[in-house]
């Protein structure tokens, strides 16, 4: 702790220098986050001090959270879905498995989960004492459905499907998983943290949501393709009372029970998330997604012309290539566990950026 506080000017000159050390989005091709939409920023600033952890103090903000869940439920073909705003996919995935564990009490619980799942499930299973039974991916990097039934046993409490995988942008056959979940009377959680705000806006969206009766819950992140400010995630559940399984008593708050994982929770990014959806509307989101998908196709064609073949043909805007070529100077790309180059065509990644990247990597 400094004994004497800094002058504002000195402090902000220090902060500006630190901020300049950060990388600039104009060259980031590795991130599932993006530059927030100006509408999200404007709404965020209006709700800066709101805390959804004590909703009785902020009834207006709390009603925006319910509206956000209603919008997302509607988008996922189930307006009556329950849910709440989380800090992102990690919290949503932890909470989904917490519900599954509370619903089916067994001695040594396990969850049948795709090999391609995000590492947040490792955290969830570690915290909750759940064993992970991993199902391999097929050649298209979607979960091999023929392996799922064999992995299920009497201690299985849930199945997980991925709608827009982190590394390859693939959507599992959620319809087939939902059928198995119904037959086996199992909880099915769909991780659509990335794809949940892409798939509904594609011209021919694969089924992945509550339209499938077997789907129990869905994770979706407005702070990824929803262009919201951070942190903005959401967990949606088919029956609102499923969240009640997580309730603990909160005697001195304005509400007497709480099912969320975080206590103090920002209202600002929730307002930001809702503001973007309402400002864009379906038409606006379809246009953004169409642009991202067009850039993804252009990047894949351009890379293949340069001799870098695609690893798979993605369902959403994540492109992967069979090469260990380093990123050209100044560009940030990432690498999958299997060693493929990975590029995410987020809204901040413009057509001009793709063309420049292709020129730079071709040299």
- Binding site residues, ligand 0PR, CB under 6 A: 31-33, 88-90, 93, 118, 120, 166, 191, 193-194, 221, 233
Q: Which residue's CB is nearer to ligand 0PR, number 78 or number 342? A: 342
User: What are the residues whose beta carbons fall under 8 Å from the beta carbon of 286, sequence distance 6 or more?
Assistant: 201
Rounded Cα gap, residues 88 and 355, in angstroms: 32
What minimum distance in Å lies between the beta carbon of 339 and ligand 0PR?
A: 16
Q: Between β-strands 217-220 and 257-258, what pairing exists: parallel, antiparallel or unpaired?
A: unpaired
Token pair listed for 357: 């990247």
Rounded Cα gap, residues 57 and 211, in angstroms: 36
Q: Which residue's CB is nearer to ligand 0PR, number 58 or number 224? A: 224
| Buried residues in 121-149 as b, exposed as e (16+ CB within 10 A) | beebbeeeebeebbbebeeebbbbbebbe
Closest CA to 222 of 186, 271, 174, 182: 271
Rounded Cα gap, residues 175 and 286, in angstroms: 23
Q: Which residue's CB is nearer to ligand 0PR, number 58 or number 72? A: 72
What minimum distance in Å lies between the beta carbon of 168 and ligand 0PR?
A: 11
Q: Which residue's CB is nearer to ligand 0PR, number 54 or number 191? A: 191
What minimum distance in Å lies between the beta carbon of 273 and ligand 0PR?
A: 13
108 alpha-carbon distance from chain centroid: 28
Q: Which residue's CB is nearer to ligand 0PR, number 76 or number 194? A: 194
What minimum distance in Å lies between the beta carbon of 90 and ligand 0PR?
A: 3
Helix axes 268-305, 38-46, angle to 10 degrees: 160
User: What are the residues whose beta carbons fall under 8 Å from the beta carbon of 173, sequence distance 6 or more?
Assistant: 142, 143, 145, 161
Rounded Cα gap, residues 305 and 125, in angstroms: 43
Q: Which residue's CB is nearer to ligand 0PR, number 329 or number 337? A: 337
What minimum distance in Å lies between the beta carbon of 84 and ligand 0PR?
A: 15
| Buried residues in 161-192 as b, exposed as e (16+ CB within 10 A) | bbbbbbbbbbbbbbbbbbbbbeeeebbbbbbb
Q: Which residue's CB is nearer to ligand 0PR, number 93 or number 143? A: 93
Q: Which residue's CB is nearer to ligand 0PR, number 58 or number 194? A: 194
Stated as kind and residue range, the H or E segment containing 280 is helix 268-305
């Amino acid at each position: 702790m400094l004994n004497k506080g800094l002058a504002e000017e000195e402090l902000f000159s220090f902060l500006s220098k630190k901020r300049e050390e950060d990388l600039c989005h104009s060259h980031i091709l590795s991130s599932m986050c993006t530059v927030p939409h100006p509408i999200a920023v404007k709404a965020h600033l209006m709700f800066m001090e709101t805390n959804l952890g004590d909703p009785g103090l902020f009834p207006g903000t709390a009603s925006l959270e319910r509206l956000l869940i209603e919008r997302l439920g509607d988008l996922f073909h189930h307006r009556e879905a329950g849910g709440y705003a989380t800090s992102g996919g990690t919290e949503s995935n932890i909470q989904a498995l917490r519900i599954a564990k509370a619903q089916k009490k067994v001695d040594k619980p396990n969850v049948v989960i795709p090999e391609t799942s995000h590492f947040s499930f490792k955290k969830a299973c570690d915290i909750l004492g759940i064993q992970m039974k991993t199902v391999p991916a097929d050649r298209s990097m979607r979960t091999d459905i023929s392996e799922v039934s064999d992995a299920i046993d009497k201690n299985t409490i849930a199945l997980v499907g991925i709608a827009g995988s982190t590394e390859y942008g693939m959507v599992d056959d959620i319809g087939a998983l939902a059928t198995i979940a119904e037959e086996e009377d199992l909880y099915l959680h769909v991780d659509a943290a990335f794809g949940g705000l892409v798939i509904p806006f594609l011209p021919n969206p694969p089924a992945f949501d509550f339209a499938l009766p077997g789907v129990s819950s869905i994770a979706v992140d407005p702070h990824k393709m929803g262009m919201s400010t951070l942190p903005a995630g959401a967990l949606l559940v088919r029956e609102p009372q499923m969240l009640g399984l997580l309730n603990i008593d909160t005697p001195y708050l304005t509400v007497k029970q709480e099912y969320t994982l975080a206590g103090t929770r920002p209202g600002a990014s929730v307002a930001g998330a809702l503001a973007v959806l309402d400002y864009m509307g379906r038409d606006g989101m379809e246009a953004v997604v169409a642009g991202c998908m067009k850039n993804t196709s252009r990047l894949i064609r351009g890379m293949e012309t340069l001799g870098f073949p695609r690893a798979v043909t993605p369902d959403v805007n994540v492109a992967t290539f069979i090469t260990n070529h380093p990123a050209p100077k100044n560009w940030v790309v990432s690498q999958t566990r299997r060693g493929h180059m990975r590029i995410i065509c987020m809204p901040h990644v413009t057509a001009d950026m793709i063309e420049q990247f292709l020129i730079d990597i071709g040299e």
